[in-house]
């Protein structure tokens, strides 16, 4: 019989973070995923607060270290927010995910590929996962880390919530006249921004909108942004929703805990989801290691409250861009960028408004 303490569905950032902690805590863990890694679009920008949460160094997969953020109210003039220390590193998401999966396996988690999950059943003592291959896997608990379109959530009869959306592509460095720094061009799309993330041999480019209901970014819009901005069209273009609904969603269903984009742990202002994925994965593991799955609700409540405040800020920020961008380019921006990178709450940012990051 295929029986485990915990089965984790999904081997992205949330799944690997949960599996690492559970395996390190002595639990028998099976990670089940459609691919070895996320296999979905992601620009791979990782903030310092996320680096501080990892249980291991991700140095082997860092492609660039960033200490200057270029911002504009596109197509207006650009400002530079310079940090005294690094505030972000650039990774290739598939490399990062494979690396984190390997770390979880080193801790003792097992990994198995599946074509998908056909059914899930649970009772008072455990959970059964029926895979599309016809296998039945039993576990005491299940961690659903299967992303914004969570199949587990659908199988439990819950419909998808709609939130932020992004599309990305690659441009080879050899095709660029100049290699840009990390850039956010606000207003390149209504209710969002265009980005340029340097990755060594190429740049990752994309468009982000912060909430459902705005015109979704599509290939035509991304092509146009890249042509206007860089004179080249991107390749490897793909889009995906981001899980930004944590304030409204169910975190737990009996013995099943949702983490990462499957619980909507991504913040709305910039769409940073890797931090929420790692954080929620680790908190779910903490709850299961103490055999108190219900404590997950309390453990995640602080992040839930923070995301509610960030959603209010996003509404103001994107609604009032002509005012927001000058403020972002000023001293407040420095504090916000540093706070965003290091994980200060909005309340802490207010208190720390002292300009340790300055506009160059």
Ligand X SMILES: Cc1cc2nc3c(=O)[nH]c(=O)nc-3n(C[C@H](O)[C@H](O)[C@H](O)COP(=O)(O)OP(=O)(O)OC[C@H]3O[C@@H](n4cnc5c(N)ncnc54)[C@H](O)[C@@H]3O)c2cc1C
Residue 271 binds ligand X (CB under 6 A): yes
End-to-end CA distance of the chain: 62
Of 7, 9, 109, 249, the one binding ligand X (CB under 6 A) is 9
Classify 67 in phi/psi space as left (phi over 0), alpha (psi -120 to 50) or beta: alpha
Tell whether residue 49 is a contact of ligand X (CB under 6 A).
no
**Is 146 one of the binding residues for ligand X (CB under 6 A)?**
yes
247: which DSSP letter? Answer: G
Q: Is the peptide bond before 59 cis (omega within 30 degrees of 0)?
A: no
Q: Is 68 in the site for ligand X (CB under 6 A)?
A: no
Residue 12 binds to ligand X (criterion: CB under 6 A):
yes
Nearer Cβ to ligand X, position 145 or 171? 145
Size of the site for ligand X (CB under 6 A): 41
Is residue 202 a contact residue for ligand X (CB under 6 A)? no
Q: How far is CA 131 from CA 115, 139, 182, in A?
A: 7, 14, 41
Closest separation between CB of residue 17 and ligand X, Å? 8
32 vs 109 by CB, closer to ligand X: 32
CA distance 166 to 164: 7
Closest CA to 125 of 30, 286, 254: 254
Q: Where are the alpha helices (H) located in 209-300, listed in sequence order?
A: 219-230, 274-289, 295-299
Under rule CB under 6 A, residue 222 binds ligand X: no
Cα–Cα distance list, 170 to 8, 43, 154, 167, 202 (Å): 31, 10, 32, 11, 7
Strands 88-91 and 78-82: unpaired
Site for ligand X in 181-200 (CB under 6 A): none
Chosen residue from 15, 192, 198, 217 binding ligand X by CB under 6 A: 15
Task: Convert residues 223-242 into a mask of x (bound to ligand X by CB under 6 A) and - (unbound).
Answer: -----------------x-x
Instruction: Give me the least distance between CB of 310 and ligand X, in Å please.
Output: 13
Is residue 103 involved in binding ligand X (CB under 6 A)?
Answer: no
DSSP-based three-state secondary structure for 51: helix
Residue whose Cβ sits closest to ligand X: 273
Contact 174, 279 (CB under 8 A): no
In the three-class reduction of DSSP (H, G, I as helix; E, B as strand; rest coil), residue 125 is classed as coil
Give yes or no for a contact between 13 and 97, defined as CB atoms under 8 angstroms apart.
yes
Shortest separation between residue 232's beta carbon and ligand X, angstroms: 19
The contact pattern for ligand X, residues 281-320, with x = CB under 6 A and - = no contact, is ----------------------------------------
Pick the binder of ligand X from 73, 151, 255, 329 (CB under 6 A). 151
Q: Which residues bind ligand X (CB under 6 A)?
A: 9-15, 32-35, 38-45, 114, 116-117, 145-147, 151, 166, 168, 206, 240, 242, 260-262, 266, 271-275, 277
């Amino acid at each position: 019989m295929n029986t485990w303490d915990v089965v984790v569905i999904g081997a992205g950032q949330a799944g690997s973070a949960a599996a690492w902690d559970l395996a390190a805590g002595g639990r028998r863990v099976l990670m089940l995923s459609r691919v070895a890694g996320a296999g979905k679009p992601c620009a791979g920008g990782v903030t310092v607060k996320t680096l501080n949460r990892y249980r291991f160094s991700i140095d082997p997969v860092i492609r660039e270290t960033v200490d200057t953020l270029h911002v504009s109210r596109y197509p207006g003039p650009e400002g530079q927010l310079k940090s005294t220390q690094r505030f972000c590193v650039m990774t290739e998401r598939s490399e990062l995910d494979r690396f984190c999966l390997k770390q979880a396996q080193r801790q003792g988690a097992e990994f198995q590929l599946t074509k998908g999950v056909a059914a899930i059943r649970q009772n008072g003592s455990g959970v059964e996962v029926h895979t599309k291959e016809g296998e039945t896997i039993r576990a005491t608990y299940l961690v659903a880390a299967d992303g914004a379109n969570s199949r587990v959530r659908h199988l439990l009869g819950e419909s998808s919530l709609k939130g932020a959306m992004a599309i990305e592509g690659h441009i080879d460095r050899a095709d660029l006249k100049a290699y840009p720094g990390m850039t956010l061009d606000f207003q390149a799309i209504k209710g969002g921004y265009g980005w340029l993330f340097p990755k060594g041999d190429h740049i990752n480019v994309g468009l982000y909108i912060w909430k459902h209901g705005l015109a979704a970014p599509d290939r035509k819009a991304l092509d146009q942004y890249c042509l206007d901005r860089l004179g080249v069209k991107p390749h490897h273009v793909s889009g995906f929703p981001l899980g930004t609904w944590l304030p409204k969603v169910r975190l737990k269903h009996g013995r099943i805990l949702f983490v990462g984009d499957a619980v909507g742990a991504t913040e709305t202002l910039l769409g940073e989801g890797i931090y929420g994925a790692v954080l929620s994965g680790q908190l779910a593991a903490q709850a299961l290691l103490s055999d108190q799955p219900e404590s997950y609700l309390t453990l995640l409540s602080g992040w839930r409250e923070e995301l509610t405040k960030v959603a209010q800020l996003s509404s103001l920020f994107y609604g009032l861009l002509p005012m927001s961008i000058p403020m972002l380019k000023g001293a407040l921006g420095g504090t916000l960028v540093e706070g965003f990178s290091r994980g200060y709450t909005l309340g802490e940012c207010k208190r720390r408004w002292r300009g340790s990051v300055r506009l160059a």
